Structure 1
Amino acid sequence: MGLGLRKVGKAVMGICAGLLLTACAEDFGLDQHGRKVTADSLDGQWLVINYWAEWCAPCRTEIPELNALEEQLKTQSARVIGVNFDALQGDELKRAADSFDIRFTVLAQDPAARFELPRNDVLPVTYIVDADGKLRERLVGEQTSAGLLAHLERLRGE
C-alpha cells in the first residue's frame, strides 16, 4: 500500500510540475477580436510576423498574399501573425483588420521584445521566427505568399 501511494504521489507531483511549466510560458495577449492568444497556440511553430499599417499602400496589396500563406501553412506547424505598426487596440484594431480583410491572427501586443526583433521604421516588414523563437530572417518591403513560402522552406532546410 505504501508503494502505491508513493507512485500516486510522484504522478501528482509530475502533473503539478508540468502545469507549472506550462503556466510559465507567457501568453501573447489579445488578438483583433479580443480573444486571448495563448503561448501554447504559437510556441513551437515557425512564425511569419508581419507589421502593417492603414496608411501603408504596399501593406494593402500584401495582406491578400499573407491570407493565402496562412491558408497554405495550416498543416505545416507555421503561422502568419500580424502586428499593427501604429499599436491600435480594441475596436480600432478590429476595424482596421476588418477593413484590410485580414484572416490571420493580429496581435494587439507587439511581440518584438519576446523575439528580440529589431526596430524597423519602414513598412511593410516581415520577420521569420523559427520554432525555437529565434529570429531567422528580416524581409523589408512587400512580400508574396510564394516568396515567403520559399524563404520558410529554405530556412527549415538549414
Structure 2
Amino acid sequence: MGTRLRAVVRAVTGLCAGLILAGCSDDAGVDQHGRKVAAEPLEGQWLVINYWAEWCAPCRSEIPELNALARQLEGQPVRVLGVNFDGLQGEELNKAAHALGIEFRVLEQDPAARYQLPRNEVLPVTYIVDDQGQMRERLLGEQTAVGLTARLSALRGGD
C-alpha cells in the first residue's frame, strides 16, 4: 500500500507541476516596456493587430490613427496591439515605439502563430481577430480610426 500511495502522490505532483508550468507559459510575451502580457485578458476580446516598422512612411502616419482608435475603444472588448515587423526586442523596441509615439501596447513576441496570421511582405498591415481568436480580416495599407471603427462595427454585427 505504501508503494502504491507514493506512486499516486508522484503522479498527482507531476500532473500539478505540468499544469502550473503550462499556465506560466500561456502568455503573449512582454510589451515594449518589458511588462508581461498575459494571454488570458486578451481572450474573449476583439484584437486589432498592426504590423509596423520605423522605415515605413505609411506606418508612421498611421500610428496617430491607431493611438486615437485605442483611446476610443477604452472600456470596450477590443484591444489595439502593435507588432514590429523587424522583430525588434527589449530596449530597441522600446526606443522605436517611443520614437514613433506609439501609445498602444506593442508585443515583443509576434502573435502570428497564436492567431494563424499569414506573414505579409507589405507594410503596413492590420489584422482584425475576433473574440474567438479567429482572424476575420486582413487590411493592407494605411488605416484610419474611422475606417477601423466601421470595419469592427460591421464584423461585430453593428454592436
Instruction: Report the TM-score range of the alignment, normalised by the length of the smaller protein.
Output: 0.7 to 0.9
For residue 10 of structure 1, what is the aligned residue in structure 2? Answer: none
* Percent identical residues: 68
Looking at structure 2, the residues matched to 62 and 119 of structure 1 have their Cα atoms a distance apart, in angstroms, of 20
Aligned to 2:3: none
Q: CA deviation at 1:25?
A: 7.5
Code of the aligned partner of 1:143: Q
Tell me how far 1:26 sits from its aligned partner. 1.5
| Aligned match of 1:146 | 146
2:85 aligned residue = 85
Structure with higher strand content: 2
Q: How does 1:36-115 map to 2 (within 5 A)?
A: 36-115=36-115
Task: Report if the CA contact (8 A) 1:29-1:37 is conserved.
Answer: yes
SS in 2 for 1:55: coil
1:137 aligns with 2:137: yes
Residue 49 (structure 1) shift: 0.1
Number of aligned pairs?
140
The alignment status of 1:117 with 2:117, answered yes or no, reads: yes
CA RMSD of aligned residues (A): 1.8
TM-score of the superposed pair, with normalisation by structure 1: 0.84
Counterpart secondary structure, 1:157: coil
Q: What's the TM-score once normalised by structure 2's chain length?
A: 0.84
Look up the equivalent residue of 2:141 and give its one-letter code: G
Q: Report how far residue 39 of structure 1 moved.
A: 1.1
Residues 59-116 of structure 1: CA deviation (Å, up to 9, x unaligned): 0000000000000111210010000000000000000000011000000000000000
The amino acid of 1:129's aligned partner reads: V
Measured against aligned partners, the alpha-carbon deviations of 1:36-74 in whole angstroms (never above 9, x if no partner) come to 000122111000000000000000000000000000111
Gaps of 5+ in 1: 1-15
Q: Aligned with 2:123: secondary structure?
A: coil
CA distance in 1 between partners of 2:95 and 2:82 (Å): 14
Q: Match of 1:68, as an amino acid? A: A
Structure 2 Cα separation of the partners of residues 103 and 41 of structure 1? 19
Q: Displacement of 1:120 after TM fit?
A: 0.3
